[in-house]
Amino acid sequence: MDILIVEDEPEIAKLIQLRLEREGFTCHWCRDGLTALQVFQKQQPDVIILDLMLPGLDGLEVCARIRQRPGAKDPYILMLTAKGEEIDRVIGLSTGADDYLVKPFSPTELVARVRALLRRSLRYGGQSLVYRTQHFTVDADRHIASRQLDSGESEPLDLTTLEFNLLATFISQPGRVWNRTQLIDKLWGNDFFGDERVVDTHVARLRKKIEPDPSNPTFVKTVIGVGYKFEDEAIV
């Protein structure tokens, strides 16, 4: 597994790199946002450990640009921040970070977070399930999702693993209201670290890919004070 470390403090970067390489990971390191984008394009890492405060482009901007770029891989992104008050920005701006870690942190916790991110892609493995609604089809076994267009044609959806699993969860029980805790348990289980509001970030990203108007969602509805529900007619 390849990991890109984007950290402008050499001592911290070296500590992270040594610990991860000891665990069997291949690591690359750069210290600024522009270089990170160039390395990402060439290396296509599985995980990016991304410092929030960087010279030039900050971590939020780097994260957003990576999520906007089509590529062979859509990496997991672990954001590092030295300021506890910045956490709401990391989550709330919906830039696409999968998790965050506040400095100072222990190398052991960092490794645990990385391994938890990599295990997420295995959570739905082995299922032979196909869910269909009026507008969507999700094949959990083949990991394929598509949307039915008004023209009658089927359009494949380009979803990350977590977005796919989130849609599969919603579409498996149309009309059910899911709170954040239930979605975390379904998607991450005991592998989850961090603030439960990270769920909102991933729901916002999913909406951008499946909703005609993400600001006024048709399918993934917010149930105020509770959570989310998926509305579409199931096809048996």
Q: What is the pLDDT of residues 145-200, one digit of tens each?
A: 999 887 878 899 988 888 888 999 999 889 999 999 889 888 877 667 667 788 89
Contact 146, 155 (CB under 8 A): yes
pLDDT of residue 95: 65
Q: Where in the chain is the domain with CATH 3.40.50.2300?
A: 2-122
Q: What are phi and psi of 130, to 5 degrees?
A: -125, 125
- 204-226 per-residue burial string, b: 16 or more CB within 10 A, e: under 16: bbbbeebeeeeeebebbeeeeee
Q: What is the pLDDT of residues 43-64, one digit of tens each?
A: 889 899 999 889 989 998 898 8
From the number of C-beta atoms within 10 Å of its C-beta (0-12, 13-18, 19+), residue 54 rates as buried
Q: Where in the chain is the domain with CATH 1.10.10.10?
A: 130-230
Q: Give the residue with greater pLDDT, 115 vs 218.
A: 218
pLDDT of residue 82: 79
pLDDT of residue 231: 95
| Fold entry, domain 130-230 | Arc Repressor Mutant, subunit A (1.10.10)
pLDDT of residue 127: 45
pLDDT band for position 12 (cuts 50, 70, 90): very high
Q: What is the pLDDT of residues 87-143, one digit of tens each?
A: 655 554 556 778 888 888 999 999 988 988 877 654 444 444 788 899 999 987 778
May I ask the CATH architecture of the domain 2-122?
3-Layer(aba) Sandwich (3.40)
pLDDT of residue 191: 64
pLDDT of residue 71: 56
Displacement of CA 120 from its chain's centroid (Å): 10
- 180-194 per-residue burial string, b: 16 or more CB within 10 A, e: under 16: beebbebbbeebbbb
Q: Which residues pair with 51 in a beta bridge?
A: 80
Average pLDDT of the segment spanning 4-15: 95
